[in-house]
Amino acid sequence: MRVELLSLVFAALCGLVVSQTFPDPLNITGPFFFVHDPSLVQRQTDGKYFLFTTHDKAGIITADNLAGPWTEVGSILPNNSSIPLPGRDDIWAPDVSYHNGQYYAYYSVSTFGSQDSGIGLATSYTMEPGSWFDHGLVINSTTGDNYNCIDPNLIVGLDGVPRLSFGSFWADIFQVELAYNFQNVTSVPEQISFNSTAPQAEEGSFVYKHGEYYYLFLSEGTCCGFNASNLPPPGDEYKVYVGRSISPAGPFVDAKGTPMTETGGTLVLASHGNVYAPGGQGLYYDTTWERDIFYYHYIPVESPDPYSDTWASLGLNGVDWSSGWPVLTSL
């Protein structure tokens, strides 16, 4: 109750009109663990949950049940990435998925505000710590490019072509095709989303197929570095938008028909209650719950250091697709 009251007071003071409500995330148990730009996978063999996160050299957190208890168990790259760029010892935004009998983890090597960035690939048959093999660089960007090679996401469409989406700031979200070895780039980067409204830069893209459509989710706004006494104007913080297409390569449009390359996007999730600046999102089909699960990180309003991304946490919700667009539900 106190958290909800604080949020309403903050909204009133800033002139925010609350026009949409969102469900609270699932309550999870276990000791606190830092989560930012999460990737959540349920293991094929036994249904065990593996959660991967930015920092801690692509940290690995596991649980036998979705609600926990969750436990930190290690890292994907405990000995750093083989990519010879600054940030190789501080891995960002791992994206993990299962293909061809093994797990593929695309990851980012960069430093804050830099375009000298690389996306690498590691693979494992089990996802356990110590089982990952680093294949090194897949694609990189340098100063002067109109894209930044971080926040990777792999989608394999019905045509069987692996595609890697990526991007953060600059001209936002791009996509390339990969060879069937999932490592060699076979096309030039093509822009698939762009927001021209400052300061709503886009990042954290995630493409997910449901029914006849491919849905492009992305995060917009300020992600982190918040000061409780000097927060961004309401709405400028992280939130999640979506567009859809009949092709994994786009063009993607929002529910009003606006192209995602022309500042389109339908709102999926924004700050509410104890949840501030949600983003870094993804989806997977849970074989235990027999439904799609939407996961993301958020900054708790109520924490030992309110609004501090040091306490970034895991959010979990269900998805209602009945309208043809993703609407979050409680779990």
* Residues taking part in catalysis: 37, 203
Tell me how far CA of residue 304 lies from CA of 45, 54, 116, 255, in angstroms.
Answer: 38, 21, 35, 39
Question: Are 327 and 294 a contacting pair, CB within 8 Å?
Answer: no
Phi first, then psi, for residue 2 (nearest 5°) are -65, -40
Q: Which two tokens stand for residue 79?
A: 């000995």
- Please spell the DSSP secondary structure of 2-22, one letter per residue: HHHHHHHHHHHHTT-------
Q: Which residues, in sequence order, are bridge partners of residue 144?
A: none
Cβ contacts of residue 27 below 8 Å, gap of 6+?
67
Classified as helix, coil or strand, 311 is helix
Q: For the chain, how big is the Rg over CA atoms in Å?
A: 19
List the structure tokens of 307: 């609004």
Collapsed DSSP state (helix, strand, coil) of residue 21 = coil
Q: Look at the chain and count its residues.
A: 331
Euclidean distance between CA atoms 154 and 83, whole angstroms = 19
Q: Work out the widest C-alpha separation in the chain, in whole angstroms.
A: 54
